Structure 1
């Protein structure tokens, strides 16, 4: 898996990341969602550079001109519910592509043990498509793996790209041997560890709760 870590280069992404992490700012839900969306836009732009383009002739009011346009068939799939703002940011730049949605959540067996449950999937056929998986927090990597395994039942994509805001290094290491070798990860920042409950440290907390309000725990 190839990793593209935007935090390795100074950019405005650092400001958005600081705001979604900051306990004095992140509880403004509208601002939190918008910052996730903006990070999604930037990551989508960077990811677009890896796609296949072909030259097409278009007509302007004055003349004809050749333009290089994306000719890959792209599907964006977000993991509900935390992935929705990130999905929206990606669609702001990939406004013509198809969208899929899947639910994946932690079912807690104990305070520190959990399994991933996938209960809902709405997707197009993914055969020979470019699949973008949108999940703001890549923690243990188990949700992304369960999502991928569910999605390939409806088609085998030719390329897989993961767009996330913050990842934990153990989660990246977990996925490297379990996803297709050519998978690419586009990430805002990488944190070094997980706590005993499987949450990213320093991270930012629960992205879904910060975006939409606290949920009942299962």
Structure 2
């Protein structure tokens, strides 16, 4: 798996990452959603450098101009519900992309430390020979992303797979490296220290879905 760590160089990305983490700023859910969307936009721009382009001719008011446009057919797929904000950022830049939505969540049995990943609802465009961009704000254990990956590939096989996450734990990255093809790309805005005993990212930011859309039952 090819890893692209976007925080290795300074940019405005760090500003938005700081705001989605800070407790006081998190009290403004609208700002949290917008900052996560901005992070998606920055990640989409960086990812766009790895896409294929084709030469086209366009007509300006004064003359013809030779330029390029994206050649690839893209499908942006997010994991409900937390992934919606990051999804919007990618869609702002890849506005002609098709879309997909999948629900995946931790199902705890008797204690907080052990859980299964349940993948239920999905509404996804045909992925055959297209570029799949799978987005989710948090990469903790990696089990949710892997479960969704296998579910999506049951129906069709994309040409290439890009996974985009805002914040990742080293354990989750290592897990995906073990289970995903070497050709996969992982785009990470920030890599944090570790997972705690309950498999949450530290320092992390809390529950991205709750911060964006309110606490769930």
Normalized against structure 1, the TM-score is what? Answer: 0.97
CA distance in 2 between partners of 1:215 and 1:115 (Å): 19
- Superposed CA offset, 1:153-186 (max 9, x none): 1210111101110000100000012112111111
**Unaligned 5+ runs, structure 1:** none
CA distance in 2 between partners of 1:43 and 1:203 (Å): 18
What is the CA distance between 1:120 and its match in structure 2?
A: 0.5
Structure-1 residue corresponding to 2:33: 33
Give SS of 1:25's match: helix
Give SS of 2:127's match: coil
CA distance in 1 between partners of 2:113 and 2:180 (Å): 25
Give SS of 2:25's match: coil
Structure-1 residue corresponding to 2:70: 70
CA distance in 2 between partners of 1:125 and 1:40 (Å): 23
Give SS of 2:50's match: coil
CA-based RMSD of the aligned residues comes to 0.7
Structure-2 residue corresponding to 1:144: 145
Give SS of 1:171's match: helix
Q: Is the 8 A contact 1:123 1:154 kept in 2?
A: no
Q: Is the 8 A contact 1:32 1:211 kept in 2?
A: yes
Q: Is the 8 A contact 1:105 1:117 kept in 2?
A: yes
CA distance in 2 between partners of 1:192 and 1:19 (Å): 18
Structure-2 residue corresponding to 1:97: 97
What is the CA distance between 1:89 and its match in structure 2?
A: 0.4
Q: Which runs of 4+ in 1 moved over 6 A?
A: none
- Superposed CA offset, 1:84-120 (max 9, x none): 0100000000001100000000001122111100111
Structure-1 residue corresponding to 2:117: 116
Q: Number of residues paired by the alignment? A: 216
Structure-2 residue corresponding to 1:23: 23
CA distance in 2 between partners of 1:97 and 1:180 (Å): 24
Structure-2 residue corresponding to 1:87: 87
Structure-2 residue corresponding to 1:57: 57
Structure-2 residue corresponding to 1:198: 199
CA distance in 1 between partners of 2:155 and 2:82 (Å): 23
What is the CA distance between 1:192 and its match in structure 2?
A: 2.1
Normalized against structure 2, the TM-score is what? Answer: 0.98
CA distance in 2 between partners of 1:157 and 1:122 (Å): 16
